[in-house]
Amino acid sequence: MGKVLLVASGKGGTGKTMFSVNMGATLAQRGYNVLLIDMDMGLRNMDLYLGMENRVVYNIMDVISGICRISKAIIRVDGFSSLYFMAAAPRLDERDITPLHMEILCAKLKEVFDYIIIDCPAGIGEMLEVSLEPADRAVIVTEPEYAASRDAEMTERFLRDNGLSDIYVVLNRVNVELMREGYMPDLATVASCFTSPLVGIIQEDENIRISTNKGIPIVMKRGTYIEKNFVDIVAKIIR
């Protein structure tokens, strides 16, 4: 049976989608069968980060509303034999998605995939509530900023209050120099905001921005410090 991993944050732009895509790619590179689901309806961009924007025909709302079969909305990501993707709806529409819909969908997907990674919109909204239902584990991606940490702490509390306690925190966009000089909260300060463990740190690196712009997950370039870092972080999350 597969596991459902939720990727959430407090603030927007902390790197959830970048993290989801690269966690999925890292797991697929290790032979796992992985499905990435974009739940950011109306503001989707996972398709872009995977370089798959021209391949999307159906999306998760089409599946939920019965317009197409599940398999029609699942696309294999170029360059991978076991990484798949389901897009979000391109705009917010009238169609309804409930926690029960998501539970039923994920129960079916878990028979096929080892990991289902759900990339949520920022903050505590309807899509987080819906995605929470089938989730076994969550990763909160935050930044070394007081505002981001406070918002992420609220998201953590929301997840715990709703029965999800297996939660990990990843600190993205770290600038070591600024942190050392005291212009950014340090690791101990960020870690102290959360009950859940801080399992990884990702540095601010222009190569990450370039990779999302190009639509090529950064971990596809093997042997870099970023790829090794992802392998370490992902190992802690799936252990």
Ligand X SMILES: Nc1ncnc2c1ncn2[C@@H]1O[C@H](COP(=O)(O)OP(=O)(O)O)[C@@H](O)[C@H]1O
Which of the choices Mg ion, ligand X, none does residue 13 contact, using the CB cut-off of 5 to 8 A by kind? ligand X
| Closest C-alpha among 191, 197, 202 to residue 168 | 197
- Tell me the pairing of strands 167-174 and 75-76: unpaired
Site for Mg ion in 9-68 (CB under 5 A): 16-17
211 scored as a contact of Mg ion (CB under 5 A): no
Report residue 85 as tokens.
Answer: 């993707």
Whether 215 contacts 201, CB under 8 Å: no
- Which amino acid, 39? M
The residue among 162 and 229 lying less far from ligand X, judged by its C-beta, is 229
Residue 149, both tokens:
């940490």
Residues 6+ away with beta carbon under 8 Å from 180: none
The nearest distance, CB 143 to Mg ion, in angstroms, is 13
Q: Which is nearer to ligand X, 45 or 65 (CB)?
A: 45
Residue least distant from Mg ion (Cβ) = 17
The least CB distance from residue 225 to Mg ion, in Å, is: 24
Closest distance of CB 179 from ligand X, Å: 14
What interhelical angle do 16-29 and 206-214 show, nearest 10? 80
Q: Which is nearer to ligand X, 109 or 202 (CB)?
A: 202
Q: Out of ligand X, Mg ion, none, which partner does residue 9 contact, by CB within 5 to 8 A per kind?
A: ligand X
Nearer to ligand X, 103 or 126 (CB): 126
Rank residues 110 and 200 by Cβ distance to ligand X and give the closer one: 200
The CA-atom distances, in angstroms, between 83 and each of 22, 57, 65 are 11, 18, 24
| Site residues for Mg ion per CB under 5 A | 16-17
